[in-house]
Structure 1
C-alpha cells in the first residue's frame, strides 16, 4: 500500500432548509449533504466516487479544493488539516490541489483568449517570465490534444470535448499533486468520453498525479478507477478495489446501480427494483440512509445507522445485512 496523499475523516456538511413549515417561528431544519464521510487517496492513484445526482459527491470534491467550508471533520493533505486553514493559509496549497468542473465553459473568461487564460494562472503563482509562460502554455495544450492555433482562440469557439481538454490543461499547467474531476465527461458524446478518459489516464501515469474522479456513471468509473467509493444521501455505502467491487458487490444500492447501468460489460445480478425517489435527509432522519428505498430493510435498518466496516481486506460496506 502506498502513501496517503489525502485523507478525509468524518466529513459533515449541512445546508439550511427554508419553507419547510407553515409556522412563523418554527425551528430551522438542516439538510444533510455529507454525513460522516471518510476515505483516502494514495499518491498516483485514481479514486472513483460514484452515486446518484444530489448524493454529496460534488460537495465533497469542492471541500477538498477549498471551495466549500465543512461543518466538521478533517481533510488531511500531507498531514495538514485543510479544514482548519484560513483562506490566506490555504492559498499556497491551491497549486497542489486543482479541479476540473463539469461545465468548464462557465468557469472561463468569455472575453479572454485561451493563451491569456492559461497564462493568467502562471502569473498568479509567479511561475516564469513572459517567454517561459508562453512556452509552458503551448506545451500543455499539446499534451491535452489541442494545437498552437488554439492559443489565440476564445473559449466559445471550441467544441464540448475541446472545452474539457482546456479545463484539464488549466488544472495541469501548475503541476498539481491532486486533481478533483467533477463529472468531466458526463455532457460529452460516448466517443469523445473515451478520448478524454484515455488522455486523463495517460497524463496521470506520465505526471504521477492523483485523481478524485466523481461521476454518476458507474461504467465510466470502472474504466478509469483503481478504487471506488459508492455514495448515497451523503454517506459512503461501499468501498473496494475496482475489480473486487464489480465482481462482488455487497450493498443493495451498489447492486441496484449495476442493474441500472447500460454498460454491457457490467455483470447483471438479480436485484429487487428500487421504489420512490431519494428523500431529503434532515437531522431527524434515523437509521440507514438507504432504508426508505431498500427492498431488504428491517426494523434495525430503520432505527440504527450502519457503520462503514471491513468485511474483507480492502472491502468496506455500510449494511447490517451484508453477510
Structure 2
C-alpha cells in the first residue's frame, strides 16, 4: 500500500503508531509498523474492523496476531497462495477418492466376469440368464464410475490451467514493482548471478530523475508518481527486448544488459534520454506546462564486481558524477 501523507501528517501518525505499539507491547518490526500505520491511517476498512473487534473483545494483540492481519489484509499474494493450495488440495482429494472407487469397481467387474464364467450352464438357462444380468449391471456400474472419473479429470485439467494463471500472477507480484511495473531489485540480483554463472559480460545503466523531488515538493506526491511512472514506461519501451529494467531507488532505475559493451549501452541510454525529453506534463490548474524532466545517466561494465549491488552502486556513482559535471551521461572506467 502506498501512502501520500505530508511530512506533518506522517510525523503525527508515527507518534500514534509508536503509542499503539507501546500500548500492546509490540516490537517495532517492519510488519508490526506497517499494520499499525495502516490501522492509524484508516485506509483499509476490513483490517480496521478486524483489529477493532479484537480490541473490543479484549483479544490478545501480539506479534502473531499482527502477522495474521498482515497476511490476511495487506499481502494479496498470501491470499492467492492459500486459495491455490486449497483448490489443488481439493482436486487431489477428489481424484484420490474417485480413483479408489474406480479400482473397487474394476475389481468387482473382474470378479463378476469370473463368477459369470463359472455360473454359465447350457443346461440351466435361468441360472445363466441371472449371471448375465448381474454381469450387465456390474458393467453399467463400471461405466458410470468411469464417467465420474472422466468428469474429475476434466475438472482437474481446468484447475491446472487456473493454477498456472494464479502462479504466473504470484510470480509477477513477487518480481514486479507495483508502482512502476519494472522489476524489483532482488530479481535483478538473481539475473546478475545467473549471467555471471554463464560467464556473460554485463553492463548496467543507472537512470536518475534528478528533479523528481522538485516535482513532488511543488506539485504534490501524485504528480511525482505520474512523472515516475511515465519515465518508467519510457525506460521499459527502449529496453524491452535488450535488457532488464528495474527500480532500484526512490528516483532511480537500473537497466541490466548482457553481452554488450559500454559504448552500445550508452547508445541505449541516449535513446531513453531522448524519449523522456519528449514527455510533456501540463498542470490541471491553469493549463500550465510543467518543467522538463532532468535525467542523469551512468553506464558501467562488470569487471570485479561480485553481485548486482556492487554493479548497481558503480552505475549509480557514474550517474551522480554525470549530474555533478552537467553531463547527460558518464561511462565509468
Into which bin does the TM-score normalised by the smaller protein fall? under 0.3
Is the helix fraction higher in 1 or 2?
2
Is the strand fraction higher in 1 or 2?
1
Relative to the length of structure 2, the TM-score reads: 0.22
Answer with 1 or 2: which has the greater Rg: 2
Relative to the length of structure 1, the TM-score reads: 0.23
